[in-house]
């Protein structure tokens, strides 16, 4: 699988900033932000190569809690898709 570069607008310590990550799709880019405990909220995920974006505007605490309860990662990624 080819990984793309994503820029992600987030809130860290009550300040808005942009982080860069590499992922196969925007769901995995979101998952990377969920795994970063310092990220409180995600606003937008932008694929720099395809020039597409995903406006999400989500607090990450509920998604982190949901991820802790999942034993089947396919179920987890389906949950992320439903959040779209």
Please report, for the chain, the start and end positions of each structural domain, with discontinuous segments joined by +. Answer: 4-82
Residues 22-49 as b/e (b if ≥16 CB within 10 A, e otherwise) read ebebbbbbbbbbbeeeebbbbeebbbee
Contact 23/6 with Cβ under 8 angstroms? yes
Q: Identify the pLDDT of residue 77.
A: 73
Contact 4/22 with Cβ under 8 angstroms? yes
Q: What is the CA radius of gyration of the chain?
A: 12
Biggest distance spanned by C-alpha atoms of the chain:
35
The residues of the chain scoring below 50 in pLDDT are 84
Q: Identify the pLDDT of residue 66.
A: 84
């Amino acid at each position: 699988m080819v990984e793309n570069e994503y820029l992600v607008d987030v809130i860290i310590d009550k300040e808005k900033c942009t982080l860069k990550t590499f992922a196969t799709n925007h769901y995995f880019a979101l998952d990377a932000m969920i795994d970063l405990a310092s990220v409180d909220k995600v606003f937008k995920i932008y694929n720099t190569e395809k020039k597409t974006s995903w406006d999400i505007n989500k607090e990450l605490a509920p998604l982190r809690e949901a991820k802790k309860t999942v034993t089947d990662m396919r179920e987890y990624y389906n949950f992320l898709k439903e959040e779209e």
